[in-house]
Structure 1
């Protein structure tokens, strides 16, 4: 039965339905645990931020010219781990914090005060589109309309078709019009 869920997940992944693929891979893993399925689950997470990279790694694994699938899965795992390590090193080398760290600081501080204190000295690293929309929402609610709009413009290509993009733009327009009155 686990094989059926794996096959379903593979089809879903190839169709770009990464969340559904992850669920199916999880079910298959619960029935028959394996490193391969864990790697596929990680690929589903990776696909949220970098769909083309995840699909490329996925295709490498299923390349008919590839004789050793175990070696391929280990290479994929190594690539994903090095990507995480590289991201960590980039954050450390820049004056940057992750959005999760920013939110933790927010629990102890007022948004406006915290954001103004890091505005010119620290980058906020956003890893998921949910984080982007949450940050932009905070920015708009606290009067940072221009900065919120810049965040949206900078990521418009990545989130084309996401209905939250249009809703957020409408919210900014509405706030901007109210400030003119």
Structure 2
């Protein structure tokens, strides 16, 4: 009973932090600096040409992204716990992102399905031969093959823009 109350409090705190960050960003992006960041995101060359410091804006956007990532990581760690299996989840997430294309949401969904099927079918064939534990190897092989054969992913753009 007390464990359920503790879990509920953690979920409520997580929801509260997410809501607070959402409201803070909604308000921030209406300020002068927020409008500059939106302009940079829309067209960095035009922003640069009217005197907006694109480098400073990119740095600030990375800083804001890191704040959100830290908040999410702390909440995730408190709810789910942190252990060695989390690194395997990171490997799968990275493989899905690279396989689908770093700039494609549809690619991430399709790559997730493909990786899940390849991982499970491959493990069914390889586990009896090697004694188990081949899922992580299959994920790593898919990642390496994707980077070697199609580095921009299945749905990613392969054009390179020089800045």
Shorter chain as normaliser: what TM range? under 0.3
TM-score (norm 1): 0.26
Which structure has the higher relative contact order (CA within 8 Å, separation 6+)?
2
